[in-house]
Amino acid sequence: MAVFNDDEQQRIREAIAAAEKCTSGEIRVSIEKTCSEDVLDRAAKYFHQLDMHKTKLRNGVLVYVAVVDRKFAIIGDAGINQAVSPDFWDCTKDEMLNHFKTGDIVEGIVTGVKMAGQQLGKYFPHDLGGDSNELSDDVAFMDGE
């Protein structure tokens, strides 16, 4: 699926790597063209399909975007949900939406990833001695199955 060119994908990868330097949390971005079900259900499906629930501290975050349908969600694993308030992702979603409204999907994703890293750092600080990159920083292009 060619939604983003190589440079755009590299920008997203670099944003993930930079954000993960602020936190022990693991951030992934999942993209598909359309979403035929509830966006949170779809994000949760891919969260598990990408094995994000297998991080040591259960602190994975998925930024899911269906570009054609203009739907997106941010979901965190159990460790995050136990530590933060229910409206934790609202500011991040609002900032992403501001970019999406102007058609700049990549900048919206990059902004969301950066904000996620900063916010997660408060609850899950980066462990300089023992933190490892548990999940790929590559954009996961999904096929809707």
Kindly report, residue by residue over 13-37, the tens digit of the pLDDT. 999 999 999 888 899 999 999 999 9
CATH fold of 6-121 reads Diaminopimelate Epimerase; Chain A, domain 1 (3.10.310)
Q: SS3 string of 77-129?
A: CHHHHHHCCCCCCHHHHHHHHHHHHCCCHHHHHHHHHHHHHHHHHHHCECCCC
In contact, 112 and 96? CB cutoff 8 Å = yes
Kindly report, residue by residue over 68-89, the tens digit of the pLDDT. 999 999 999 998 888 888 788 8
Flag whether the pTM goes above 0.85.
yes
Q: Which residues contact 106 (CB under 8 A, 6 or more apart)?
A: 4, 8, 11, 12
Task: Judge whether residue 113 has pLDDT over 80.
Answer: yes
Q: Which residues contact 70 (CB under 8 A, 6 or more apart)?
A: 100
Q: SS3 string of 22-68?
A: CECCEEEEEEECCCCCCHHHHHHHHHHHCCHHHCCCCCEEEEEEECC
Kindly report, residue by residue over 45-58, the tens digit of the pLDDT. 999 999 999 888 89
pLDDT of residue 74: 95
Q: Which residues contact 120 (CB under 8 A, 6 or more apart)?
A: 19, 22, 23, 25, 27, 59, 61, 80
